[in-house]
Every structure is written in structure tokens, then in C-alpha cells.
Amino acid sequence: MRGRIIRGIAGFYYVSPDPASDGGAGEAAAEAEIPQRSGAMYECRAKGIFRKDGTKPLPGDYVEFDITSGEDREGSVRKILPRRSALIRPAVANVDQALVIMAAASPRPNLNLMDRFLVTMEQQGVSCSICFNKKDLADEAVCRQLSDSYRSTGYPVVFTSVMTGEGLPELRKLLDGRTTAVAGPSGVGKSSLINTLQDGVSMQTGEISRIERGRHTTRHSELICVRPGTWIVDTPGFSFIELYGMEKEELGRFFPEFAKWEPECRFTGCAHISEPDCGVKGALARGEISESRYENYLQLYAELKDRRKY
């Protein structure tokens, strides 16, 4: 059997079987199958091989597994299929993109946290989109400002409201056919959004899922199948992100809107802080790079500079 690990907890892996590998079920049956229903999930142990060769199954992994008890829906993961990608923070395999969610209002958007997240994803080579939720609670002017702040970054930005349904079709299109790691601080509407995005099955996630989700969402990532082929990774909410594994000199690379202007910097390796004839600062002065992005760059740069070297 083939399937996808949707969650790993304390040595157990919950595997959603690929309907196409399920005893010759046809295309139509595959489409009809709702993979996250608890009835269709297998609780698996991993075979000892993984411990020996040092690989550990991750949520998001496509695997081959053996059914050890069909009745109890138990199995054993035999093989991890080749990974397209693996995120380290959060630890998830086969993610196509990340979506960072903030509320446009209540709680007020924390753009510093947003930029930390975006930098971390750039560092890991994952493309990002931005969602400002609770549009119904925010002033037009605030939304325009948020949108302006990220225009030059190239990140897709969507404004949504679970309340009015605004922006949801656009968000769906962004997620369609891909595996998206969703992140954001708590209270911004992540759970509400994920629930409304599911094709009317949010209330059918089933016993195991319902019980364990409540208990574990804060510490474990979990894949949710929105539609066949479209997955959302609900990741633990965060309130602070520290940058790891980068030098201050690299930081500028993780602000994609800087690249266009760096050729205009007089000095190669320009940090875009106090150097004369800096293309990035020129773009900032003309409003082609947003002030909040640049300020967050300065803050992160200072943080990396002050970090104790070990």
C-alpha cells in the first residue's frame, strides 16, 4: 500500500492511504475518497530499518506500508518514497509552498514576525504567499498599506474574511493541487480558514483526528487534505522566530526585492546600511522598497551581528 503520513506522534505515524493503490480502485473511486476520514487512516509503526540508516519518517512523506491489521487499521511503514523537499522548521516533507497568515486587524498584524517567517522560508528555498485574514474588521486604508508593504516583494498577497467569504476563491486557487505549510500566530483565524476551505467535510474528520487534534495541534504539524491532491499543513502557531544558520552578510539575499537594486550599489557586498551610493537605499527613498521591510531588515541584521559566536 502507498499513502501519505499526515501526522507523527510518539513513534506512531498516521497514514492516509492513496486511494489509487487501494486494491485497484478506479479513478472515480479515488476522486470520491475523502482521505482524512478516520476510517481510512492507518496507525503505523515504522520498521527498524529507519533507525539504522538515520532517516526518520516525517509528516508529508509518501510511504509504502504494510497492513498488519485491516480491522484495527494498523500498519507498518516499510519505505519512505523519495522526498521532493524537506522543511526543517517545521519538520515536514514534500511541501510545495508556505502561506503565512496574519489578521489584518485584531490582533494587529505583526510585520516583524511576518518578515522573520518569510526570511526563514527563503533560507529553506520555499516559495511563500501571504494571507491577511479578518478583512471585515480592517479599514480599507490599513489593507492598502499592508498590500503596499509587500507589493515589491513579489509574494502573492490575498485578503480574506471567513466572515464574509471574501478572498476565499482566490486563496483556494493559490492552494490548489499543492501542499502548503500554513503558519501564523494564534488567533488570526488559521483554524477557521482551514475549516472553510475543506470541501464540506470539516465535521467529518473522525474520532482519532478530532480527539488528537485538540490535544496536539500546538506541538505537531498535521496534514489536512482539502481536496484530493490539495493538502494543507497546519503547523504549530508561533509568537517568535529566531533566525538560525545564517550570517548577517547573507540576510539581504532573503529579501527578494533587494536583488533588483543591488547591482546599483557602489560596493560589492554592500550591507545597505551606511554605505554611500547604495541601490537598495535609493529604492527605499523612492518608495520602491517598503519602510517596514527595510526596518525589519535592519533589526534582523543587528540581531545577527550581535549574536555571540560560539
Ligand X SMILES: Nc1nc2c(ncn2[C@@H]2O[C@H](COP(=O)(O)OP(=O)(O)O)[C@@H](O)[C@H]2O)c(=O)[nH]1
Binding site for Mg ion (CB under 5 A): 190-191
CB nearer to Mg ion: pick between 50 and 238? 238
CB nearer to Zn ion: pick between 46 and 300? 300
Q: Are 36 and 224 in contact (CB under 8 A)?
A: yes
Asked if 289 interacts with Zn ion (CB under 5 A), we say no
**From candidates 60, 90, 189, 252, binder to ligand X by CB under 6 A:** 189
Q: How far is the CB of 192 from ligand X (least distance, A)?
A: 3
Return the one option of Mg ion, ligand X, Zn ion, none that residue 39 interacts with (CB less than 5 to 8 A, by type): none
Asked if 187 interacts with ligand X (CB under 6 A), we say yes
Burial of 222 (0-12, 13-18, 19+ CB in 10 A): buried
Separation of first and last alpha carbons in the chain: 47
* Distance separating alpha carbons of residues 30 and 27, to the nearest angstrom: 5
Q: How far is the CB of 191 from ligand X (least distance, A)?
A: 3
Return the one option of Zn ion, ligand X, Mg ion, none that residue 161 interacts with (CB less than 5 to 8 A, by type): ligand X
Helix (H, G, I), strand (E, B) or coil at 127: strand
Q: Are 68 and 74 in contact (CB under 8 A)?
A: yes
CB atoms within 10 A of CB 197: 20
Which residue reads 511503514 in cell numbers? 77
Q: What is the DSSP string of 157-195?
A: EEE--TTT-TTHHHHHHHHTTSEEEEE--TTSSHHHHHH
Cα angle 70, 72, 75 (rounded to 5 degrees) comes to 65
* Distance separating alpha carbons of residues 166 and 171, to the nearest angstrom: 10
Pairing of strands 179-183, 222-227: unpaired
Return the one option of Zn ion, Mg ion, ligand X, none that residue 265 interacts with (CB less than 5 to 8 A, by type): Zn ion
CB atoms within 10 A of CB 99: 25
Number of residues lying near ligand X (CB under 6 A): 14
**Residues 212-251 as x/- pattern, contact with Zn ion by CB under 5 A:** ----------------------------------------
Asked if 127 interacts with ligand X (CB under 6 A), we say no
Distances (CA, A) of 73 to 44, 56, 201, 298: 9, 22, 21, 53
Asked if 179 interacts with ligand X (CB under 6 A), we say no
Return the one option of Zn ion, ligand X, Mg ion, none that residue 192 interacts with (CB less than 5 to 8 A, by type): ligand X
Q: Which stretch binds ligand X (CB under 6 A): 50-58, 129-137, 144-152, 267-275?
A: 129-137
Q: How far is the CB of 94 from Mg ion (least distance, A)?
A: 23
CB nearer to Zn ion: pick between 181 and 280? 280
Q: Which stretch binds ligand X (CB under 6 A): 146-154, 185-193, 241-249, 281-289?
A: 185-193
Bond before 19 cis per omega within 30 degrees:
no
Q: How far is the CB of 292 from Zn ion (least distance, A)?
A: 18
Which residue reads 497514514 in cell numbers? 15
**From candidates 270, 284, 289, 300, binder to Zn ion by CB under 5 A:** 270
Asked if 285 interacts with ligand X (CB under 6 A), we say no
**Residue ranges in contact with ligand X by CB under 6 A:** 133-134, 136-137, 161-163, 186-192
**Residue ranges in contact with Zn ion by CB under 5 A:** 265, 270, 272, 278, 280
